[in-house]
């Protein structure tokens, strides 16, 4: 239990609930109920039935033969890209919409950057017939038009966040402000392992199905549950949290987190939170945070909108500080090249977020007998225009 | 006794004003404070601007962004306030978000406050549990009163808990909302004001959020000890300037 949240939502020095009193009843209701609800057999049954029949779980664990040959090690891909809506995000939104129903909520709000979490939220709201409002930075609305259209087609209202830098962190601020103004009937579906307690723990638990499946799939294929390494990209940290979850306390499993270096860690245009961040408070959580000397939150940059967040979940801050996790940052260019390589070698076009994880092989050597699992968090359909522009396809 | 505590003993309804330091102009801070005191204001909340003020509505968001763009930061605010107690005797609080204080160093920040003569802090995103877990000792060591908020949704048990942890006043948020003027108070607010008055808390209450004029001030203070005006004052500053502060105060009482 060393790497899980304690009862106050702390992972070592990180976490907690730094929220204004206006949000106390909302988060307290969730805190008091989320574990009981999640452990209720009828909830588990409903959750797993939807994951199976609607999302398409279990997702395959695929041995990437050509990639393995190229890097002279043994590489497995956990195919979250095959989830309905194209990424792991839906594991969390299915869980949270069921949670919201049990709490008697009839209005859902969410934030989104690239639009993946917004689409996953709009999808489950359509499925359940619940009103859905997605906050999205005005700038992101302009750069992610296809996902905006998907959300609208799914019946969601997309509200532009016009404050601050008009990107993901501001969309999150607007969602929190909405929740302050609508404290009774609304549930806020946060999109990653961020925010005040109990969100990081709750989202990690919903995503933990990923590592649960890896364990049984590896057992079947390799006769062992534990790989030598699990690798995932980290924006807020939810796909990584899911992939690490059941391995956190198994110290022989190496945990590798890949962050976005943007144009270079020290270029001034980066989202490498562990390298650039200091302890601070963002969106109700004490964690590593990119900020000025005076404690103002700074705007990150990455070619991948899903990694473009100035903080990181408190679980990951603790993995970094404790040394349990190995953190590596990957530039835009390295990620784009890695994405193209995976497309050509394995016939899979990864989301640009995920492409960052694949660039690990140019940074770090693995032994030929090592078993390395990469969490393939999403597919690249949403990123085609960026790939087209980058490679002049 | 702390200045806040003595002020609360005065036999009158208190009018408190919030403004964002560094706005409209970077160096208005001392002028605004002195003018507010001269106009008969009872207490002042000096806003330390933050990039992501998530409990605030559009007016204070904008004033915070403007203040940061003007170059305001914690060290500069302390410099501006260094001689404030030579001219100002009413209670002064700093209101802001916790992250800039965490970066300054919580102990250093508290120490600076004490040296200058700041009486208390209002930090909406430092709730009771986190305060008691890590920071209470420090605040107390430097004689700072930490002010907690309650809202119409706060349960009776929690209000009692907050009352027990408070040493000055309780900041009563008028409605479930971010900061900013609303069009008057309805029955829901009136019931809430009365319900809290009926609880006979040991700390007096000061109402904030949505107070913009004489009418909302007198409604808010019909049972509470005082009221805080923020957004409406900031708008007035923006349109009428620092010279017109006495006019604003006269329009309230
Ligand atoms: C495919 C994909 N991977 C990763 C991320 C990053 O989020 P997280 O770190 O929470 O997994 C996103 C976010 O939009 C995403 O769409």
The gap from C-alpha A369 to its chain's centroid, in whole angstroms, comes to: 29
> By C-alpha distance, which of B86, B84, B94 is closest to B142?
B94
Confirm whether A89 is a catalytic residue: yes
| Stretch among A13-27, A156-170, B151-165, B224-238 having the lowest mean pLDDT | A156-170
CA of A280 from ligand 1 middle (Å) equals: 22
Task: Return the structure tokens found at B240.
Answer: 């009428």
Residue B181: the pLDDT is: 64
> CB–CB of A169 and B126 under 8 A?
no
Cα–Cα distance, A92 to A236 (Å, whole number): 13
Q: A350 near A387, Cβ under 8 Å?
A: no
Q: Distance between CA atoms of A171 and A310, rounded to whole angstroms?
A: 13
Q: Partners of B172 in the beta sheet?
A: B150, B207
Cβ(A334)–Cβ(A390) below 8 Å: no
Does B101 contact A at CB distance below 8 Å? yes
Res B50 pLDDT > 90? yes
Greater confidence, A163 or B29?
Answer: B29
Mean pLDDT of B24-42: 98
B1: confidence class by pLDDT, cuts 50, 70, 90: confident
CB burial class (10 A; 0-12, 13-18, 19+) of residue B212? buried
Q: A116: CA distance to ligand 1 center in Å?
A: 8
Q: Which two tokens stand for residue B108?
A: 């250093």
CB contact under 8 A, B52 and A19: no
Average pLDDT over residues B42-46: 98
DSSP string, A298-328: PPP--SSGGG--SB--HHHHHHHHHSSEEEE
- Classify the phi-psi angles of A188: left when phi > 0, otherwise alpha if psi is within -120 to 50, otherwise beta: beta
CB contact under 8 A, A21 and B126: no
**B127/A17 CB distance under 8 A:** yes
**Strand-pair partners of B122:** B95, B147
Structure tokens at A14: 């990180």
Cβ-in-10-Å burial (0-12, 13-18, 19+) of B149 comes to buried
Give the closest residue (by CA) to ligand 1 atom 1: A378
Q: Is B97 on the interface with A (CB under 8 A)?
A: yes
A20 CA to chain B: closest CA distance, Å?
Answer: 4
pLDDT tens digits along B107-117: 999 999 999 99
Contacts 24+ apart (CB under 8 A), B7-12: B7/B42, B7/B43, B7/B90, B7/B91, B8/B168, B8/B169, B8/B204, B8/B225, B10/B42, B12/B42
The pLDDT value given to residue A1 = 61
Query: A177 vs B178: CB contact, 8 Å cut-off?
Result: yes
Q: Which of A188, A296, A317 to mutate to test the interface with B (most CBs of B within 10 A)?
A: A296
Q: Confidence class of residue B182 from pLDDT cuts 50, 70 and 90?
A: confident
Tokens of A201: 């723990």
Nearest chain B CA: its distance from A75 CA (Å): 41
Is residue B230 pLDDT above 70, yes or no? yes
CB contacts, 8 Å: A17 with chain B: 127, 129-130
A80 lines ligand 1 (CB under 6 A): no
Q: How does strand A14-15 pair with strand A254-262?
A: unpaired
3-state DSSP call for residue B11? coil
What's the gap in Å between the CA of B247 and the closest CA on chain A? Answer: 31
B252 at interface of A, judged by CB pairs closer than 8 A: no
3-state secondary structure of B31: helix
Q: Does B217 touch chain A (CB under 8 A)?
A: no
Nearest residue of B to residue A284, measured between CA atoms: B125
Rounded to a whole number of angstroms, the CA Rg of chain A reads 19
Q: Does B75 touch chain A (CB under 8 A)?
A: yes
Contact criterion met (CB below 8 Å) for A181 and B175:
no
Domains in chain B, start-ordered, CATH in brackets? Answer: 13-252 (3.20.20.70)
Q: pLDDT below 50 — which residues of chain A?
A: none
HSE toward the beta carbon, residue A299, CA cutoff 13 A? 11
In the sheet with A107-112, reading across from the earlier edge strand, the strands are A157-161, A131-137, A107-112, A186-188
CA torsion sign for B26, B28, B33, B36 is: negative
The DSSP 8-state label assigned to residue A184 in this structure reads: T
Average pLDDT over residues B118-145: 96
Rounded CA gap, A78 and A58, in Å?
A: 10
Q: Where are the beta strands (DSSP E) in chain A?
A: 10-11, 14-15, 61-63, 74-79, 107-112, 131-137, 157-161, 186-188, 229-233, 254-262, 278-282, 285-289, 325-331, 371-376
Show which residues on chain A lie within 8 Å of chain B, measured between beta carbons.
8, 16-22, 24-25, 163-164, 169-170, 173, 176-177, 180-184, 278-284, 289, 291, 293-297
Burial string for B151-190 (b: 16+ CB within 10 Å, else e) reads bbbbeeebbeebbeebbbbbbbbbbbbbbbbbeebeeebe
**How long a stretch of residues is chain A?**
393
Instruction: Tell me the mean pLDDT in the region B16-37.
Output: 98
A19-49 residues labelled b (16+ CB within 10 A) or e (exposed)? bbbbbbbbbbbbbeebeebbeeeebeeebee
Contacts of A283 in chain B (CB under 8 A): 54
| Cβ separation B153–A283 shorter than 8 A | no
Distance between CA atoms of residues A245 and A168, nearest Å? 25
Single pTM value for the model: 0.97
φ/ψ of A166, rounded to 5, equals 60, 40
ipTM value: 0.95
- Domains assigned to chain A: 20-50+89-203 (3.40.50.1100), 56-86+207-391 (3.40.50.1100)
Is A329 within 8 Å of A260 (Cβ atoms)? yes
Cα B124 versus chain centre, distance = 10
> Any catalytic annotation for residue A322?
no
Q: Is A325 in the pocket of ligand 1 (CB under 6 A)?
A: no
């Amino acid at each position: 239990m060393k790497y899980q949240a304690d009862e106050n939502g702390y992972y070592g020095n990180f976490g907690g609930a730094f929220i204004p009193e206006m949000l106390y009843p909302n988060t307290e209701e969730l805190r008091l109920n989320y574990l009981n609800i999640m452990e209720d057999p009828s909830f588990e049954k409903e959750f797993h039935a939807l994951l199976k029949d609607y999302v398409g779980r279990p997702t395959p664990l695929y041995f990437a033969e050509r990639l393995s040959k190229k890097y002279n090690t043994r590489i497995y891909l956990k195919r979250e890209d095959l989830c309905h809506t194209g990424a792991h995000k839906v594991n969390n939104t299915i869980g949270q919409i069921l949670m919201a129903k049990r709490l008697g909520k009839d209005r859902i709000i969410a934030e989104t950057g690239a639009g993946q979490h917004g689409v996953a939220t709009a999808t489950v709201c359509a499925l359940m017939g619940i009103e859905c409002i997605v906050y999205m930075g005005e700038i992101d609305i302009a750069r992610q038009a296809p996902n905006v259209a998907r959300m609208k087609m799914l019946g969601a209202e997309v509200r532009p966040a016009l404050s601050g830098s008009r990107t993901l962190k501001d969309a999150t601020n607007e969602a929190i402000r909405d929740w302050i103004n609508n404290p009774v009937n609304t549930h806020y579906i946060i999109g990653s392992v961020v925010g005040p307690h109990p969100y990081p723990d709750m989202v990690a638990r919903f995503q933990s199905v990923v590592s649960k499946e890896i364990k049984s799939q590896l057992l079947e294929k390799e006769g062992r549950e534990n790989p030598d390494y699990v690798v995932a990209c980290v924006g807020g940290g939810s796909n990584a949290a899911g992939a690490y979850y059941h391995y956190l306390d198994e110290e022989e499993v190496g945990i590798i987190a890949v962050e976005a270096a943007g144009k270079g860690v020290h270029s001034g245009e980066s989202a490498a939170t562990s390298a650039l961040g200091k302890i601070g408070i963002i969106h109700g959580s004490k964690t590593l945070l990119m900020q000025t000397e005076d404690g103002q939150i700074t705007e990150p940059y990455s070619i991948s909108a899903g990694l473009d967040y100035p903080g990181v979940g408190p679980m990951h801050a603790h993995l970094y500080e404790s040394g349990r996790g190995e953190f590596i940052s990957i530039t835009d260019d390295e990620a784009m090249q890695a994405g193209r390589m995976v497309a050509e070698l394995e016939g899979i076009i990864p989301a640009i977020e995920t492409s960052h994880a694949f660039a690990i092989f140019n940074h770090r050597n693995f032994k030929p007998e090592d078993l390395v699992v990469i969490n393939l968090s999403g597919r690249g359909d949403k990123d085609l225009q960026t790939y087209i522009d980058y490679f002049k396809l | 006794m702390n200045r806040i505590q003595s002020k609360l003993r005065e036999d009158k309804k208190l009018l408190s004003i919030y403004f964002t330091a560094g706005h409209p102009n970077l160096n208005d801070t001392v002028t605004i404070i002195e003018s507010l005191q001269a106009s008969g204001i009872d207490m002042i909340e000096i806003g330390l601007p933050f990039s992501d003020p998530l409990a605030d509505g559009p007016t204070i968001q904008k004033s915070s962004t403007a203040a940061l763009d003007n170059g305001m930061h914690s060290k500069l605010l302390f410099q501006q306030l260094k001689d404030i107690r030579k001219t100002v005797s009413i209670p002064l609080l700093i209101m802001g978000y916790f992250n800039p204080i965490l970066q300054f160093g919580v102990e250093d920040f508290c120490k600076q406050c004490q040296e200058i003569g700041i009486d208390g802090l209002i930090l909406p995103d430092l709730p009771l549990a986190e305060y008691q877990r890590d920071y209470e000792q420090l605040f107390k060591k430097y004689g700072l009163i930490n002010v907690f908020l309650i809202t119409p949704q706060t349960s009776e048990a929690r209000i009692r808990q907050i009352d027990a942890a408070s040493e000055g006043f309780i900041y009563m948020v008028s409605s479930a909302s971010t900061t900013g003027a609303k069009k008057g108070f309805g029955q829901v607010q009136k019931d809430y004001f009365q319900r809290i008055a009926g609880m006979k808390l040991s700390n007096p209450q000061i109402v904030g959020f949505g107070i913009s004029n004489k009418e909302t001030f007198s409604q808010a203070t019909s049972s509470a000890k005082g009221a805080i005006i923020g957004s409406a004052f900031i708008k007035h500053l923006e349109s009428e300037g620092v010279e017109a502060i006495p006019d604003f105060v006269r329009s309230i009482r």
